[in-house]
């Protein structure tokens, strides 16, 4: 039997119909705020990540909600399937029980489904969507201030990606993943990325690797925030830029999908990797660029293989 959690999602302004009848949430602005689709920045990072507690209340099983959940955003990650520039991912939506945010994200009618999908993907990365729990599209729609339809469509996309599965007449259950699945993902990523990186190390001029250094440094800064969701996007952005030098768009898309899956924490894992783990992972990007620039093939091979294994989970 479904039951919604007590507390506010941070969306205190109700959705209102736009001119075409689709729901939107009126924007509320403040200086320096970063609405959906705007650039990356410290404000966006602050709104993406906060003290994360396990999200309770969206799911439909009989467990009682936590009495005093700490504030934590149900943040938006990068838009699926589209190349991301150096601009930052959009800020997200507050989860159940979160304190009202200082600014409210804008749900634009032209991209409601995409923004909900982004927010749910971020919730998977941070562990707010709990493995094994069932979540109802109508209840989540109330939290986001939209109808159940875009939430259901976003959940169906996550089902295609293997993140959730349909629970008939109940909603969507977050798939329970373990260490074996993470190891398999790491193996498949290495099978794809290692030979590609070795080929690129032999053919790409050194100055092209230098051009990617700002992305690697942005990853280090993202890791220093300690926010898993912020770093997860910076990590994938760097890898997409590396593999894009192959000129093979299908390869980039497949590798990015595998990378995204490897970032979902397994059942029983902490909601966040520690800040030190994120910083160490980001530092490997800089080391890899140095090896690529120097044409050190043995180092490139080892760093790429180890990085795929270490970034899983």
Return the minimum-mean-pLDDT range out of 67-71, 253-257, 267-271.
Answer: 67-71
- In the prediction, which pLDDT does 49 show? 63
Give the dihedral of Cα atoms 47, 131, 70, 109; nearest 10 deg.
40
Contact in structure between 77 and 121 (CB atoms under 8 Å):
yes
- In the prediction, which pLDDT does 268 show? 59
Q: Is the pLDDT reported for residue 74 higher than 90?
A: no
Considering the four listed CATH numbers 1.20.120.530, 1.10.287.610, 3.40.50.2000, 3.30.70.270, the one that applies to the domain covering 179-310 is: 1.20.120.530
Q: Is the pLDDT reported for residue 96 higher than 80?
A: no
**In the CATH hierarchy, which top-level class contains the domain 16-174?**
mainly alpha
- In the prediction, which pLDDT does 84 show? 34
Task: Calculate mean pLDDT across residues 149-177.
Answer: 92
**Maximum distance among all alpha carbons in the chain?**
60
Q: How far is CA 7 from the centre of its chain?
A: 24
- In the prediction, which pLDDT does 267 show? 65
Q: Is the pLDDT reported for residue 54 higher than 90?
A: no
- In the prediction, which pLDDT does 269 show? 56
Q: Is the pLDDT reported for residue 298 higher than 50?
A: yes
Give 107's strand partners. Answer: 25
Question: The whole model's pTM is what?
Answer: 0.63
Domain limits of the chain?
A: 16-174, 179-310
Q: Is the pLDDT reported for residue 210 higher than 60?
A: yes
Of 124, 114, 81, the closest CA to residue 252 belongs to 81
Q: How far is CA 212 from the centre of its chain?
A: 21
pLDDT tens digits, one per residue of 104-147: 555 454 488 899 999 999 888 888 888 899 999 999 999 889 99
pLDDT tens digits, one per residue of 28-51: 333 343 333 333 344 445 445 654
pLDDT tens digits, one per residue of 248-267: 999 999 999 999 988 887 76
Q: Is the pLDDT reported for residue 300 higher than 50?
A: yes
Q: Is the pLDDT reported for residue 153 higher than 70?
A: yes
**Residue 44 class from Cβ within 10 Å (0-12 exposed, 13-18 middle, 19+ buried)?**
buried
Q: Is the pLDDT reported for residue 304 higher than 70?
A: yes
Contact in structure between 291 and 304 (CB atoms under 8 Å):
no
């Amino acid at each position: 039997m479904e039951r919604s959690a007590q507390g506010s999602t941070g969306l205190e302004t109700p959705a209102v119909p736009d001119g075409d009848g689709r729901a939107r949430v009126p924007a509320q602005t403040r200086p320096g705020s970063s609405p959906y689709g705007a650039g990356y920045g410290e404000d966006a990072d602050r709104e993406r990540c906060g003290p994360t507690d396990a999200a309770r209340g969206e799911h439909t099983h009989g467990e009682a909600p936590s009495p005093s959940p700490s504030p934590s955003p149900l943040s938006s990650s990068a838009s699926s399937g589209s190349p991301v520039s150096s601009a930052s991912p959009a800020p997200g939506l507050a989860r159940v029980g979160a304190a009202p945010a200082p600014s409210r994200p804008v749900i634009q009618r032209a991209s409601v489904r995409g923004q909900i999908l982004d927010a749910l993907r971020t919730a998977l990365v941070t562990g707010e969507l709990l493995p094994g729990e069932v979540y109802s599209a109508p209840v989540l729609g109330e939290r986001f201030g939209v109808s159940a339809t875009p939430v259901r469509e976003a959940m169906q996309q996550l089902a295609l990606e293997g993140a959730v599965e349909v629970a008939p007449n109940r909603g969507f259950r977050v798939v329970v993943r373990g260490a074996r699945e993470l190891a398999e993902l790491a193996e498949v990523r290495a099978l794809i990325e290692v030979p590609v990186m070795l080929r690129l190390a032999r053919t790409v001029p050194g100055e092209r690797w230098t051009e990617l250094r700002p992305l690697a440094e942005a990853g280090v800064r993202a890791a220093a925030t300690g926010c898993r969701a912020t770093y997860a996007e910076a990590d994938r952005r760097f890898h997409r830029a590396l593999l894009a030098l192959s000129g093979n768009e299908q390869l980039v898309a497949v590798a990015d999908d595998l990378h995204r899956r490897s970032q979902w924490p397994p059942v029983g894992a902490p909601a966040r990797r520690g800040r030190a783990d994120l910083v160490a992972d980001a530092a490997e990007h800089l080391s890899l660029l140095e090896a690529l620039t120097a044409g050190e093939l043995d180092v490139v091979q080892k760093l790429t293989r180890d990085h795929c294994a270490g970034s899983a989970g």
